[in-house]
A and B are shown apart, each in its own frame.
Chain A
């Protein structure tokens, strides 16, 4: 069983919701990333989304754009991410890791090469922001045959017909984008989210996780009431941005931001 499925089935038994932090790999420099991942797990992360930095992150707001710039300035490449996951797996064999990013770096190293490397280092899922299921016909089977979950987005603008297609192709969990906009944009409205999640429940058994606009314990707890998981990115990446000059303090800060959310969600 894929680690993602395993984790969600455990959470279900415990009656808890998943807390899924996102950080951009290589931000503020590659040597810190694995330490951050462990810190996030200690603070209560159930799944880690590891961002693949890209020069043109079209779906991201300024916070993650700048994180990509910092990571790329340090020369972080997709192959370096693979090494990070490998290192993380030396001491953590249970926390699922999802690579999240844009398609071009994967196209450049080749779909099959990417899938081979990801599977061999212990990646569990792949979320490619600019690749809807219609364009995933070629990479889909390559991921599936290696037990890598293809995770897709559903947006407030997604029609029921499209949502059904996405549910049919999706694996691991569904990433529901809580608002129209880029990452880090605004604060979400939990009632709206609940309304949009309801029809999805009828279409799929996949866990429904919600991202975009989750800033603190309060929003995390609100979303956790209606969703199976809460994804938090910009709120964490902001802390990294504020402390690039004191990188040794970042892991502690990430832990405190995430621990606050964990406590609020579990209360």
Chain B
């Protein structure tokens, strides 16, 4: 390993809230690794965002949209029956699935759409995996009357047909990406190629806490509303902070959104659950942190990145299109190194079990992405006492995955 190979053992948890540095670095991770044509647009975005970040008017506009358009705050729901059946800690679900458009993704797209409006660009583009970020982007574009093109891997277009049609109904153009592995990473390559060509009139809404600076920073900030609410709701409903937080991690935006406001609460354990695919031991997965992938640079940032010995990015495998990504947000990479968050993986089989269990026992159908977090709750809860509490980010709803699950059950519509 070459690049600033020493982790950052001296980083205190309280220092984590002050990341990134002025150039977008989270310790050795993050940064702005882009071709020169995009540097100007990123500098401009950074300037715009930093000037608005603490602006009360901007914040008020954001909060208003979250309340009246998204429907926040989302509930913190005590899954009593499921908790009792697991026979351990009490499980609380942060119901991001109840947001408008059905996932946490909209928190970020609302924020970035406000930025797009400030910059006066008439067109937005987005990449999407499961389609949730694409739907959220198409939604805000419809609302603001902006042109919207969404890049989606051709394989994901196949497995997420419902979301593709939703985006089209909303007036967006969905562009299937046939290059590479035809999944999320290729969609992001293609979106970057579009942006470099149309940078003058186009705002790129990145859907996760990865990409070049300032995206990891601003996507985290816009999603941190999840953790701020969950923290307040825990104090109100549990009477104290939870003992553990669990969230799934692809790029990692819902996890950072939940974790970030708790980062200085040393007694709150945190678990990020990556996509184990066929099992981390098989090599067919999408778990760069849990599998200890080497460091690398992709899509503008340095992070843990699944790649072969020659530095070519590896194919990933997961039942969930939204987690099917070889890298991970740079802030997660740092949090792994300093030991603030434990990163684990749940494999496809465990995820499906959790999906079915929550649906049967609580009448809540989770997105397959979110079911990764639930799968780890199934492992963790029984090791804890009934007077202990876990908050799980139920980051999205499962309607979009019905076809995938039906296919596994051998049902054709």
Q: Which residues of chain A have a CB within 8 Å of any CB of chain B?
A: 54-62, 65, 72, 77-79, 102-113, 129-132, 134-135, 138, 152-159, 162, 166, 177, 180-182, 185
* In the complex, chain B residues whose CB is within 8 Å of the CB of A157: 36-41, 199
- Say whether, besides A56-B298, A107-B295, A155-B37, A180 and B313 are in contact (CB < 8 Å): no
Residues B297 and A103 in contact, CB atoms below 8 Å apart: yes
Q: Chain B residue with minimal CB distance to A152?
A: B36
B362 in the interface (beta carbon within 8 A) = no
List, sorted by A's number, 26 A–B pairs whose CB atoms are closer than 8 Å: A54-B312, A55-B180, A56-B189, A57-B189, A58-B35, A60-B193, A72-B312, A78-B310, A78-B311, A79-B310, A104-B296, A104-B307, A105-B311, A107-B296, A107-B311, A108-B310, A112-B2, A130-B300, A132-B36, A135-B32, A155-B40, A156-B37, A162-B39, A181-B196, A181-B197, A182-B197
Residues A104 and B189 in contact, CB atoms below 8 Å apart: no
* In the complex, chain A residues whose CB is within 8 Å of the CB of B310: 77-79, 105, 108-109
One digit per residue, 1 when the CB lies within 8 angstroms of any chain A CB and 0 when it does not, for chain B 37-54 equals 111110100000000000
- Say whether, besides A112-B2, A154-B36, A105 and B196 are in contact (CB < 8 Å): no
* In the complex, chain A residues whose CB is within 8 Å of the CB of B198: 180
Q: Give the complex CA separation of A158 and B198 in angstroms.
A: 15
* In the complex, chain A residues whose CB is within 8 Å of the CB of B299: 56, 58
* In the complex, chain A residues whose CB is within 8 Å of the CB of B193: 58-61, 182
Q: Chain B residue with minimal CB distance to A159?
A: B40
> How many positions in chain B have a CB within 8 Å of any CB in the partner chain?
44
B192 in the interface (beta carbon within 8 A) = yes
Residues A109 and B311 in contact, CB atoms below 8 Å apart: yes
Residues B199 and A180 in contact, CB atoms below 8 Å apart: yes
Known: A102-B297, A181-B197. 12 other contacts (CB 8 A): A61-B193, A78-B311, A79-B310, A103-B33, A104-B311, A108-B296, A108-B310, A131-B33, A132-B34, A135-B33, A155-B39, A177-B35
* In the complex, chain A residues whose CB is within 8 Å of the CB of B294: 108
B6 in the interface (beta carbon within 8 A) = no
B3 in the interface (beta carbon within 8 A) = yes
* In the complex, chain A residues whose CB is within 8 Å of the CB of B196: 59, 180-182
Q: How many Å from the CB of A158 to the closest CB on chain B?
A: 6
B119 in the interface (beta carbon within 8 A) = no
Q: Give the complex CA separation of A157 and B39 in angstroms.
A: 8
B85 in the interface (beta carbon within 8 A) = no
- Say whether, besides A152-B36, A155-B36, A180-B196, A104 and B297 are in contact (CB < 8 Å): yes
Q: Give the complex CA separation of A54 and B189 in angstroms.
A: 12
Residues B311 and A132 in contact, CB atoms below 8 Å apart: no
- Say whether, besides A55-B180, A56-B189, A72-B312, A129 and B307 are in contact (CB < 8 Å): no
Q: Chain B residue with minimal CB distance to A106?
A: B311
Q: Give the complex CA separation of A57 and B313 in angstroms.
A: 11
Residues B2 and A107 in contact, CB atoms below 8 Å apart: yes
* In the complex, chain B residues whose CB is within 8 Å of the CB of A138: 3-4
Residues A162 and B40 in contact, CB atoms below 8 Å apart: yes
* In the complex, chain B residues whose CB is within 8 Å of the CB of A182: 193, 196-197
Would you list which residues of chain B between 53 and 67 have a CB under 8 Å from chain A? Answer: none
B309 in the interface (beta carbon within 8 A) = yes
Residues A55 and B312 in contact, CB atoms below 8 Å apart: yes
Would you list which residues of chain B between 259 and 291 have a CB under 8 Å from chain A? Answer: none
Residues B2 and A111 in contact, CB atoms below 8 Å apart: yes
Q: Give the complex CA separation of A102 and B192 in angstroms.
A: 15
* In the complex, chain A residues whose CB is within 8 Å of the CB of B179: 62, 65
Residues B31 and A135 in contact, CB atoms below 8 Å apart: yes
Q: Give the complex CA separation of A77 and B310 in angstroms.
A: 6
* In the complex, chain A residues whose CB is within 8 Å of the CB of B298: 56, 104
Q: Give the complex CA separation of A3 and B144 in angstroms.
A: 55
Q: How many Å from the CB of A69 to the closest CB on chain B?
A: 8
B305 in the interface (beta carbon within 8 A) = yes
* In the complex, chain B residues whose CB is within 8 Å of the CB of A107: 2-3, 295-297, 302, 311
Q: Chain A residue with minimal CB distance to B186?
A: A56
Partner of A132, one of B1, B32, B307: B32
Residues B189 and A158 in contact, CB atoms below 8 Å apart: no
Q: Chain B residue with minimal CB distance to A52?
A: B311
B185 in the interface (beta carbon within 8 A) = yes
Q: How many Å from the CB of A138 to the closest CB on chain B?
A: 7
- Which interface residue of B3, B23, B297 has the most chain A CB atoms within 10 A? B297
Q: Chain B residue with minimal CB distance to A186?
A: B197
Q: Give the complex CA separation of A60 and B43 in angstroms.
A: 22
